[in-house]
Structure 1
């Protein structure tokens, strides 16, 4: 590659600005504008690509709506009631509170679609519950919350899968279905690890919930438990699109918290709108920057060039997937997940299609790689979130998270080499891939 070419200069500018602390979305816009200036293209192309990309993709609207739904859940008492219900299910076993942490992530996965939202929403509460009276080491509680939060974007709904659908044209509905089995497999491996740790480290056994209390606790949690049923039922019955279902989820979370639980104040409502707007703006700027930069990549014919190069290597679908796993795992250590989805993954998609790799299977492999990046040092966004919540040094959290990360790697290996684990449920619902 010519280091003085417009594209090379654009890459250097984007990388340099990102390292200096400029948001990656703005860095990509700046580098793309510079590229267009250097090649003498129409500068209005930036606005054209931005507007066409943002306003012609109806699915993008579901991202802020799912974020808003998660915020409404967090400010209401839905989280507390769901945790109490989870305690009924698994709290009585040794290490029961740790098992509750895994189960609540499975349930929350059907509501928010965001690992960060799950960690920030229930993470503080689980941290307090597990460390009260020194039941569990603070580092273990923080590590467990970090690794269980990655289940959220794998089990539907999933914001990363929505972003992947944006760049790949894969069906969101079938992507959501494809994440179900891998997400439950990952949760099962985490529960096995918790059970092993509980016996090895002699974690406490919680007092069992009296039988007479179980119906009351279940009834109090029932409206919250119906949210994923309503959400996924509307999507797969064809009543709503995923974007309309996201709006329905936000409306339902607000309705339950205000009318049934009566647990939201005007101040909390305003704060949730503000936080949702900030998060949505951050993601929106990243998407906008990626849309413009992807136009530059298309002009340079990078995807086709890579496809020709990799085809020359005579890669099989399996060796290609192994290569993608290695690249994404390495990038996940230093880059934010949405940036990988918007910048790196589109470059791989033409080669994957040429090799006959199913786009739904490929999407789940990509998303799990990105979720691993959230708990893999040195970036590990979830590790830093739990450091802030728990006050525990990140190196201690990493130490306790490593066995769980190993289980996640095992899950990634299984779904990479056994596509039927991913595609079985979509095919059951009519997918022809």
Structure 2
């Protein structure tokens, strides 16, 4: 008798455990094991689902390697060279340092693939520079730092896109290429917004870099700038797989930091390894919980039920995409990105396929949604990180962030309803 109510009880347990502050990964594991026991299934299926998911998926190995590479970038002072390069390029425009902030996020995203790494690393440096001597209001500095960091997981390489590839059976290489033009669109939109706001509010312009100093700045920036070129070139030439590309990224970052720049000592390297291990452990727990939870979802046939629900409303592709946008914008404010990608997104993939929506385009739409959620109050994890690292009052950032959220949502709608922006490069490359 109780077996009939196993799933709703499991959801109630999941919600209760999560509200108490327990990490989502552990909450999914505990509630799913309870479901298996209550429904009369073998509890050992939980361990089997985890083992098959973790050890049976080569792509998952890319995640800790990209995390390691991003942490090396932050610790090895590589970001300093990129910052000076961006300053030389766009510092003379209205709102110079804010423009540098946006451009640096794009450049740094070609190495880290993580919005959190962007905010905690080079974003902290930029925010301090902007607020120094009262040049920019702290709230504006924090808001543009958070808003520009969403580019990180859209431009390749991207940890969220690796997760999406895991659940959608799409190609990581195609997804990486599909994110290039949408990322450029977002950077352009933010840059134009910064220019308009800076002129209206009288934000300063940075002194022009002397022409004779420019070649040296470019030369010093070339080695780190080569990383995305090496990664994408290796993937699309067939020299290595996306997972092997993550290992190449980590090795290249280590080579630059330790040998070329001599900026990473043993103590700092130990800190990088420790931080990478901690982050990987958190993500692995979420992965384990997601694999068990997804097994329960498949047993309950939820994807089929959702597909039938959408069919009953005779939903058009544009309506489905609008609904997905609204749902994920809200979910991204409250739930961890990894959890949404691994648990919620698979429920919508069958419907997207039925409606003829390209799954690579759908992946870009989903990830852009979730990145906007990272800066949207009340949760807005990136805002909390900036508050912790820079001491900027949360209410000051919230007052300034709404304009950038509106710009990002406008860019999201363009990306959503013009799939060619995501699919043109993969088609040109012969991948679609």
- TM-score bracket, normalised by the shorter chain, equals over 0.9
Structure 1 counterpart of 2:218: 218
C-alpha change, 1:211 and 1:336, in structure 2 (3 Å) is same
- Could you list the per-position Cα deviations for residues 28-50 of structure 1 after superposition, in whole angstroms to 9, with x for gaps in the alignment? 00000000000111111000000
Q: Cα offset for 1:102?
A: 0.5
- Could you list the per-position Cα deviations for residues 26-74 of structure 1 after superposition, in whole angstroms to 9, with x for gaps in the alignment? 1000000000000111111000000000001100100000000011111
Structure 1 counterpart of 2:157: 157
Q: After the TM superposition, which segments of 4 or more aligned residues of structure 1 sit over 4 Å from their partners?
A: none
C-alpha contact 2:3 2:40 (8 A) present in aligned 1: no
What is the rounded CA distance, in whole Å, between the counterparts of 2:264 and 2:281 in structure 1?
24
Q: Cα offset for 1:418?
A: 1.1
Q: Aligned runs of 1:7-406 on 2, under 5 Å? A: 7-406=7-406
C-alpha contact 1:138 1:390 (8 A) present in aligned 2: no
C-alpha contact 1:329 1:370 (8 A) present in aligned 2: yes
- 3-state secondary structure, aligned to 1:5: helix
Q: Cα offset for 1:348?
A: 0.7
C-alpha contact 2:81 2:221 (8 A) present in aligned 1: yes
- 3-state secondary structure, aligned to 1:152: coil
- 3-state secondary structure, aligned to 1:110: helix
What is the rounded CA distance, in whole Å, between the counterparts of 2:430 and 2:315 in structure 1?
30
Structure 2 unmatched runs, 5+: none
What is the rounded CA distance, in whole Å, between the counterparts of 2:333 and 2:222 in structure 1?
39
What is the rounded CA distance, in whole Å, between the counterparts of 2:349 and 2:93 in structure 1?
45
Q: Cα offset for 1:386?
A: 1.0
Structure 2 counterpart of 1:429: 429
C-alpha change, 1:331 and 1:3, in structure 2 (3 Å) is farther
C-alpha contact 2:4 2:39 (8 A) present in aligned 1: no
How does the TM-score come out when normalised to structure 1? 0.98
What is the rounded CA distance, in whole Å, between the counterparts of 1:430 and 1:252 in structure 2?
28
What is the rounded CA distance, in whole Å, between the counterparts of 1:181 and 1:307 in structure 2?
31
What is the rounded CA distance, in whole Å, between the counterparts of 2:410 and 2:204 in structure 1?
28
Q: Cα offset for 1:431?
A: 3.1
- 3-state secondary structure, aligned to 1:333: helix
Structure 1 unmatched runs, 5+: none
How does the TM-score come out when normalised to structure 2? 0.98
C-alpha change, 1:3 and 1:104, in structure 2 (3 Å) is farther
What is the rounded CA distance, in whole Å, between the counterparts of 2:289 and 2:337 in structure 1?
15
For this pair of structures, how many residues does the alignment match? 431
C-alpha contact 2:118 2:149 (8 A) present in aligned 1: yes
CA root-mean-square deviation? 1.2
- 3-state secondary structure, aligned to 2:334: coil
- Could you list the per-position Cα deviations for residues 146-202 of structure 1 after superposition, in whole angstroms to 9, with x for gaps in the alignment? 010000000111100000000000111111111111110000000001101110110
What is the rounded CA distance, in whole Å, between the counterparts of 2:276 and 2:308 in structure 1?
42
What is the rounded CA distance, in whole Å, between the counterparts of 1:352 and 1:111 in structure 2?
31
What is the rounded CA distance, in whole Å, between the counterparts of 1:423 and 1:314 in structure 2?
26
What is the rounded CA distance, in whole Å, between the counterparts of 2:322 and 2:345 in structure 1?
14
Q: Aligned runs of 1:406-417 on 2, under 5 Å? A: 406-417=406-417
